[in-house]
Amino acid sequence: MKIFAHRGVSGHYPENTLAAIQAALDCGAYGIEIDVFAADGELIVIHDRQLQRTTKTKGNIEDYKLSQLLQLDAGKGQRIPTLWQVLQLINNRCVLNIELKGHDTAPLLLHQLSQAQQQLGTDIAKLLISSFHHPLLRHIKQSQAELAIGALTACIPLDYCEFATQLGAMSVHCDRAFIDDKMILDAHQRGLEVFVYTVNDQREALRLKALGVDGIFCNFPAEAANWF
């Protein structure tokens, strides 16, 4: 079972921060999942457009300048990282799943990954780009075919994983509330891996493993490694 540290080790550290990502590297997680928004010409690592939950700040990302966003306390003195900082820290040591949260993230992502390949030696074979915004994923795959795509869905579509095939995806990322044997069988027949979010207890993880799921997103990846 592949274990992705969901927003880093977000069960023990402030989510989507360098501390949470370092912890995921330290525990040897297969992959790390982060959420990314565009902000003032930069890609920043944060899950909510509204700043209140993680930074105790009023308003939305777009209400602030980048310099102001980067000074906010994202928990326990941690700052909101940029995607660039995360790529630097991970340095190809595990798979990085970049989940695109905004509709305007694609041009910045493609530009930054090209820069990161040249300046940081980023291995794009270790990246997995996902989003609930499927046209955006299609645009990314058409622009850079080598990038692996994770097709996110919160539902079970009428034609199961056909959308993921159309996207040229490597994997389908499904909600634990809906995933079932038909979806998993359809994915595997199409050559897609099945990763399920967000799985934080052993009983459910073992149930999913028995169903044939290939990986989980988990807030406690060190503990999860002992579940199987």
* C-alpha span between 16 and 121 (Å, rounded): 22
134 is catalytic: no
Whole-Å CA distances, 25 to 10, 19, 20, 217: 13, 10, 9, 15
Out of 197, 215, 218, 221, the only residue in the binding site for ligand G3P (CB under 6 A) is: 197
99 part of the interface to ligand G3P, by CB under 6 A:
yes
* C-alpha span between 169 and 150 (Å, rounded): 6
Sole residue written with tokens 């902000």: 39
14 part of the interface to ligand G3P, by CB under 6 A:
no
* C-alpha span between 91 and 71 (Å, rounded): 24
Classify strands 127-131 and 215-218 as parallel, antiparallel or unpaired.
unpaired
217 part of the interface to ligand G3P, by CB under 6 A:
yes
Q: Two tokens at 190?
A: 């199409």
130 part of the interface to ligand G3P, by CB under 6 A:
yes
The CB-of-119 to ligand G3P minimum distance in angstroms stands at: 27
Q: Which does 217 bind (CB under 5 to 8 A by kind): Mg ion, ligand G3P, none?
A: ligand G3P
The CB-of-99 to Mg ion minimum distance in angstroms stands at: 4
Classify strands 31-39 and 42-45 as parallel, antiparallel or unpaired.
antiparallel
DSSP 3-state assignment of 216? strand
Give the residue nearest to ligand G3P (CB).
197
The number of angstroms, rounded, from the C-alpha of 170 to the middle of its chain's C-alpha atoms is 14
Question: Which residues are 39's β-sheet partners?
Answer: 42
Q: Two tokens at 132?
A: 């609930």
15 part of the interface to ligand G3P, by CB under 6 A:
no
* 161, 186 contact by CB (below 8 A): yes
214 part of the interface to ligand G3P, by CB under 6 A:
no
Residues 67-96 interacting with ligand G3P (rule: CB under 6 A): none
171 part of the interface to ligand G3P, by CB under 6 A:
no
- Binding window for Mg ion (CB under 5 A); candidates: 91-99, 107-115, 117-125, 161-169: 91-99
Q: Which residues bind Mg ion (CB under 5 A)?
A: 35, 99
Active-site positions read: 6, 47
Q: Which residues bind ligand G3P (CB under 6 A)?
A: 6, 33, 35, 47, 99, 130, 152, 173, 197-198, 217
